[in-house]
């Protein structure tokens, strides 16, 4: 009798854990509204790169698009590749944050994109169903802000979308209010950062051979 009871207890424990262990299933994308990230702690994303992130010629060479853009809108954070992990407080959902932006393309340095596009920026508010939120972002990177100008470095994806990802993947442009109303290729040429990326494109280094895709936003 004792053996039977012990076997039942052990069996129940195994069964409970079996169901717990079987919860690491990737679900569909989920989404949250735009939130103020200025007071949230930052948790740097760490990775292993295929190019030298400190070499601007390689950074331009590996992406599909380099363009000057104005951030029109922040459409919040979406979470991809959601899994359910065990935690001391029960199961928790863990997804990878991407922040959605609408961008007005001012000038194309590499590639040719239409005037208004949507991009996904790798990083954003972390998904945490226990109320502990933070911002996930690569080292030497930042989340774009609405109404500001940046040089974006983007990758076309198989589904036609564009992802902005990695260190220095959106570089701020210091544009005065007066300039911002009428930015042209000529006026951009006076900005040293713009010149740097123009020169980097002319001397781009393609260090990785890979299958490249075409964005649905190409002209």
Partner 1 sequence: MMVTTGILKAKKIWLFALAAVTLLFAFNTTSFSAAYVQSWHLVDSGKHLDYDGDSIYMSHITTGAGIWNGYKSGVIRPDSIWVIEDVYVTDIEIANGYTGVTYASGKIELNVYYLSDHSTTRRTNTATHELGHALGLDHSTSTDIMGPIQTTILTLSQNDKDSYDLAYSKY
The residues of the shown chain that bind partner 1, judged by CB under 8 A, are 13-14, 17-18, 21, 24, 26, 43-53, 62-64, 80-81, 83, 85-88, 94, 96, 122, 126-128, 134, 136, 139, 155-158, 163, 165-166, 208, 210, 212-213
Task: Determine the 3-state secondary structure of 116 from DSSP.
Answer: strand
* Identity of the residue, 64 or 175, whose beta carbon is nearer to partner 1 in the bound complex: 64
* Identity of the residue, 158 or 178, whose beta carbon is nearer to partner 1 in the bound complex: 158
Kindly state the tokens that stand for 99.
């922040």
**Please, which contacts does 153-156 make with residues 24 or more away whose CB atoms are closer than 8 Å?**
153/59, 153/60, 153/63, 153/65, 153/66, 154/63, 154/64, 154/65, 154/66, 154/67, 154/119, 154/215, 155/63, 155/64, 155/65, 156/64, 156/65, 156/212, 156/213, 156/214, 156/215
Nearest approach, Cβ of residue 39 and partner 1 (Å) = 17
* Identity of the residue, 88 or 177, whose beta carbon is nearer to partner 1 in the bound complex: 88
Q: Is the dihedral of CA 182, 188, 193, 199 positive or negative?
A: positive
Nearest approach, Cβ of residue 165 and partner 1 (Å) = 4
| CB count in 10 Å sphere of residue 217 | 22
Nearest approach, Cβ of residue 175 and partner 1 (Å) = 27
* Identity of the residue, 33 or 88, whose beta carbon is nearer to partner 1 in the bound complex: 88
* Identity of the residue, 65 or 149, whose beta carbon is nearer to partner 1 in the bound complex: 65
Nearest approach, Cβ of residue 129 and partner 1 (Å) = 11
* Identity of the residue, 94 or 193, whose beta carbon is nearer to partner 1 in the bound complex: 94
Task: Determine the 3-state secondary structure of 10 from DSSP.
Answer: helix
Nearest approach, Cβ of residue 49 and partner 1 (Å) = 5
Nearest approach, Cβ of residue 186 and partner 1 (Å) = 31
- Which has the closest alpha carbon to 100: 144, 130, 63? 144
């Amino acid at each position: 009798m004792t053996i039977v009871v012990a076997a039942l207890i052990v069996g129940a424990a195994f069964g409970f854990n079996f169901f717990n262990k079987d919860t690491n299933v990737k679900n569909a994308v989920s989404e949250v509204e735009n939130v103020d990230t200025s007071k949230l702690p930052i948790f740097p994303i760490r990775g292993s790169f295929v190019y030298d992130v400190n070499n601007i010629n390689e950074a331009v060479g590996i992406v599909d698009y380099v363009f000057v853009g104005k951030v029109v809108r922040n459409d919040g954070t979406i979470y991809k590749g959601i899994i359910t992990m065990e935690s001391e407080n029960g199961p928790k959902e863990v997804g990878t944050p991407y922040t959605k932006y609408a961008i007005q393309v001012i000038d194309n340095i590499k590639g040719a994109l239409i005037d208004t596009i949507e991009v996904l920026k790798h990083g954003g508010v972390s998904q945490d169903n226990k109320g502990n939120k933070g911002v996930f972002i690569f080292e030497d990177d930042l989340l774009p802000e609405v109404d500001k100008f940046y040089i974006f470095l983007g990758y076309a994806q198989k589904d036609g979308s564009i992802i902005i990802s990695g260190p220095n993947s959106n570089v701020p442009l210091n544009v005065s209010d007066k300039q911002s109303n009428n930015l042209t290729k000529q006026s951009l040429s006076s900005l040293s950062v713009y010149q740097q990326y123009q020169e980097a494109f002319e001397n781009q280094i393609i260090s990785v051979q890979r299958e490249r895709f075409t964005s649905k936003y190409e002209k």
